Amino acid sequence: MTTVNTASGLQVPTAWYNILADLPDYVPHEKRPPTDPGTEADGPARLVPQLPLTVYRQSVSRERHIPIPDEVLEQYERWRPTPLLRARAFEQYLDTPAHIYYKYEGASPSGSHKLNSALAQAYYYSRAGIQELATGTGAGQWGTALAMACRAFGLACTVFMVRCSYDQKPQRRAMMELLGARVVPSPSTLTRSGRKVLAGAPDSPGSLSIAGSVGIQYAWEDSARRYAAGSAENHVLLHQTVIGQEAVEQMRRLGEFPDTVIAAIGAGSNFAGLAFPFYRESLAEGRHTELVAVEPKACPKLTRGRYMWDHHDATGSMPMSKMYSLGHDFVPPAIHAGGLRYHGAAPIVSWMHHQKLMSAEAYGQREVFEAGLTFARTEHIIPAPESAHAIRCVIDKAALARKTGRPTVILFSLSGHGLMDLGAYQQYLDGTLPPDEEFDDLVVDPADPADAADPADRGDR
């Protein structure tokens, strides 16, 4: 037997886990830039909250557990708990004494972990009287999830998809449109910020931060419309913690506990979803678990970025956060892991990295696809390129276990399947992916747009 399915008989968590209750110090929250008091120059004349108040409460709460509404729980129960599987064939191929487990979020209807927050947000926005959600998406996993969630709660959905991913993954667009969403390539001429980008760079491949700017300006045009973010915000990380809570219980049933938890990072929701509950468990049980976030060399915000106040989007329409960033105007090379092409890391994840409560690794695209292929040929699941970053890191950890002979337990997030990424895998097989060496020369020099020692570090608690 190559795998052990641990989902049977397991209940879906009834509350999200809030790591802010357990971190040893205050994590700076969002703020407006000092030069922008929120005038109507870039936004609507009246004050229009982008978040439902309930979601804002969640994002600043210090309660350890926040109940999941019944309506969201009913949706989760359609596919959760997701399986936690042991990759025995992969272990044998790697000739490692390590036990390698993975939490498979590709089992969700949208094919990735993103649906966990999309459903929660669509529920809260619909309850607040909002009729349409707009968003930006990279590879399309968040856009697909939001399209599906909007469908579930009766909302219209407009997705601004990063242009290079829009071109690379036409099936993603079809999937979102099939679910009733409108899909627009970004940068787009539909909004002022998109036109501005195109004027300077007509062939811009786009980025998640540009798509975010375009999406939020589009949302401003209608009072019944809002922008829903899917990666860096505190509440998004919170909603994803159903993943890790299930995994903690599944590992417990197996009588194992991970020495290392590994997940790919775009902004941090996938990493947080799996890792945060293990942080809690390690604290409670007095254990040490290494938490590792894996990013592309083409977008190395944790390994080469700076910890600073920066915007979440390209034009600075969104509030600023204290985070590891490559600069909000950084446009990464058009790698296939579109979900990881984000310039910054989530504020909570950034703070934990700054405090050395976790670590980060970066890999090139070819070595990541090689890892994904190895996993597919041993475990027979084709991982999304984003998830393959975690797998690449697992290979290194497994090799280390072989070298030291230490019986290590490794858990990683298989955050999505790669069935929408077959074109990219074909390029890898054909040998037409660009060499990884080009990312070594990547120019990364983020300018600090605000004083890093700003008194707002103390923030609104």
Positions touching another protein (CB under 8 A) are 30-32, 36-40, 43, 45-54, 56-57, 60, 124, 127-130, 319, 460
What is the closest distance, in whole angstroms, from the C-beta atom of residue 43 to another protein in the complex? Answer: 8
What is the closest distance, in whole angstroms, from the C-beta atom of residue 154 to another protein in the complex? Answer: 14
Nearest to another protein of 323, 368 (CB atom): 323
Nearest to another protein of 84, 130 (CB atom): 130
Nearest to another protein of 57, 377 (CB atom): 57
Please list, in sequence order, all residues whose beta carbon lies within 8 angstroms of the beta carbon of residue 108, skipping any fewer than 6 positions away.
79, 80, 82, 115, 116, 145
Nearest to another protein of 130, 294 (CB atom): 130
> Containing H/E element for 272?
helix 269-285
Of how many residues is the chain composed? 461
What is the closest distance, in whole angstroms, from the C-beta atom of residue 61 to another protein in the complex? Answer: 9
Nearest to another protein of 49, 170 (CB atom): 49
What is the closest distance, in whole angstroms, from the C-beta atom of residue 58 to another protein in the complex? Answer: 11
What is the closest distance, in whole angstroms, from the C-beta atom of residue 44 to another protein in the complex? Answer: 9
What would the DSSP string read from start to end of 74-123?
HHHTTTPSPPEEE-HHHHHHHT-S-EEEEEEGGGSTTSBTTHHHHHHHHH
Looking at this protein, which amino acid is placed at residue 109? P
On the 0-12 / 13-18 / 19+ scale of CB atoms within 10 A, 332 is: buried
110 token code pair: 């949208």
95 token code pair: 């000739």
Among candidate residues 316, 263, 273, 334, the one with its CA nearest the CA of residue 102? 263
What is the closest distance, in whole angstroms, from the C-beta atom of residue 211 to another protein in the complex? Answer: 20
What is the closest distance, in whole angstroms, from the C-beta atom of residue 350 to another protein in the complex? Answer: 18
Nearest to another protein of 129, 200 (CB atom): 129
> Containing H/E element for 176?
helix 170-178
- For 443-458, b where at least 16 C-beta lie within 10 A, e where not — what string? eeebeebbeeebebee
What is the closest distance, in whole angstroms, from the C-beta atom of residue 69 to another protein in the complex? Answer: 12
Q: Quick count: other Cβ atoms within 10 Å of Cβ 195?
A: 13
**187: preceding bond cis by omega (within 30 degrees):** yes
- For 73-110, b where at least 16 C-beta lie within 10 A, e where not — what string? bebbeeebbbbbbbbbebbebbebebbbbbbbbbbbeb
Nearest to another protein of 42, 396 (CB atom): 42
166 in helix, strand or coil? helix
Among candidate residues 368, 395, 357, the one with its CA nearest the CA of residue 275? 357
Nearest to another protein of 54, 378 (CB atom): 54
Sign of the dihedral defined by the CA atoms of residues 180, 184, 189, 193, in that order: positive
Q: Quick count: other Cβ atoms within 10 Å of Cβ 11?
A: 10
Nearest to another protein of 24, 37 (CB atom): 37
What is the closest distance, in whole angstroms, from the C-beta atom of residue 128 to another protein in the complex? Answer: 4
What is the closest distance, in whole angstroms, from the C-beta atom of residue 51 to another protein in the complex? Answer: 6
Nearest to another protein of 165, 217 (CB atom): 217
What is the closest distance, in whole angstroms, from the C-beta atom of residue 241 to another protein in the complex? Answer: 22
Nearest to another protein of 53, 283 (CB atom): 53
Q: Count Cα neighbours of 448 within 13 Å in the Cβ-side half-sphere.
A: 12
Dist CA 373 CA 339 (whole Å): 19
